Amino acid sequence: MKLINCLNEKTVEVRSTLKERGPILSRLVALVLATAGFMDPDALLGEIEAREKLGSTGIGQGVAIPHVHLKGIEGLHVAMMTVPGGVDFGAMDDMPCNIFIIVVGPDEDREGYLKLLAEVSRLLSKEKTRGTLLAAKTPAELLATIRDAEAG
Amino acid sequence: MVKKILLVITAQAESLKRVDFVAQLALASDAQIIALNVVDTSVAKHLKTATGTSESETIVRLQEDGWHYLYDVEDTCKGLGAKIVLQQEEGFPESVIGNTAKRFKADLVVMAYSRAGGYTQTRSERFVTSVIERVDCPVLVV
């Protein structure tokens, strides 16, 4: 599963000026539901926040990947946002997070969900990719960066 | 009191089988699990010869497999309600584990031990001993 196939211009946002964890999560939920209203936003936000309470999904180097798998939804759903100013997301390396990707998958496809999380995490471990994503001025530029990174 | 448990995920069946135990341990002491996988990039050179794939392709595969294991472990811990964060690093595993334990001020390192016998078991013994020599906190071998 390629990340690029899970994103479109409606599910990405660049250069957000949000400064706090709560509004970031709310915005990610709104983005991931933008093209596929597969569940109630408040319910999804509750699930995402419950996961964050067990430990930050900030994986270091400025990247956070809030994620959850749920019963009764179909397919994998992803949204992405860059926040160049950075936000304290409680990551273990204490660095502010500036690239956020939300991943929502079905209980019934746990393997596909884990594979996509692994692909996203690996992709964003590359410093060059992170730099290009943060420099993107439009959703189209961000999507082009993802496409190039996955091709390379 | 144990507040931070560094769980070494060596992508071995042994480490995955014991996740439930570590999650229960964390719950009992209200500790946070830091699940760590180390991508041993030097292995890629050997695998290149064995598999015929390029070194960079092999590293990509190791990185993805590592994250896959980590998220698998996280999912199990989450199901039990244990607090967990994930870390993946690259380098010489024993050194990375030692440095990570110090950096995150781990109170306990948990790692699996293979009882498979033969070379695998000997290698596992050396690995465990080498980690013990590099960390300041107790090491629990399961």
- Specify the CATH number for the domain of residue B86: 3.40.50.620
Band of residue B118 on the pLDDT scale cut at 50, 70, 90: confident
**A121, B68, B85 from A91: Cα distances, Å:** 14, 19, 8
Residue B111 belongs to what H/E stretch? Answer: strand B108-111
Nearest to A92 among B75, B77, B104 (CB): B104
Band of residue A37 on the pLDDT scale cut at 50, 70, 90: confident
- Does the distance separating the beta carbons of A55 and B87 come in below 8 Å? no
- Does the distance separating the beta carbons of A55 and B84 come in below 8 Å? yes
* Nearest CA distance, B135 vs chain A (angstrom): 19
Which residue out of A21, A67, A69, A130 is catalytically annotated? A67
**What average pLDDT does chain A have?**
95
What is the residue extent of each domain of chain A? 3-151
Q: How many residue pairs bridge chain A and chain B with CB atoms within 8 Å of each other?
A: 49
How many folded domains does chain B comprise?
1
- Does the distance separating the beta carbons of B68 and A114 come in below 8 Å? yes
State the average pLDDT over residues B127-141: 92
CATH class assigned to A3-151: alpha beta
The two tokens of residue A49 are 């926040």
Question: Could you tell me if B71 lies within 8 Å of chain A, comparing CB atoms?
Answer: yes
Band of residue B11 on the pLDDT scale cut at 50, 70, 90: low
> Would you call A23 helix, strand, or coil by DSSP?
helix
- Does the distance separating the beta carbons of A121 and B75 come in below 8 Å? no
| Residue A69 falls in the annotated catalytic set | no
**Residue B102, pLDDT score:** 95
Is residue B116 over pLDDT 70? Answer: no
**Residue A129, pLDDT score:** 96
- Rounded-to-integer distance, Cα B95 and Cα A80, Å: 34
**Residue B55, pLDDT score:** 82
**Residue A81, pLDDT score:** 98
Lowest mean pLDDT among A59-73, B1-15, B68-82: B1-15
- Does the distance separating the beta carbons of A60 and B63 come in below 8 Å? no
Judging contacts by C-beta atoms under 8 Å, the chain A residues touching residue B64 are 115, 118-119, 122
Q: Report ipTM (2 d.p.).
A: 0.86
Domain, as residue range, for B133? 4-141
**Residue B44, pLDDT score:** 75
How many C-beta neighbours within 10 Å does residue B74 have?
Answer: 24
Burial environment of residue B82 by CB neighbours within 10 A (0 to 12, 13 to 18, 19 or more)? buried
Look at B15 and A91; give whichever has higher pLDDT.
A91
pLDDT one-digit tens code per residue, B76-112? 999 999 999 999 999 999 999 999 999 999 999 999 8
Global pTM value: 0.88
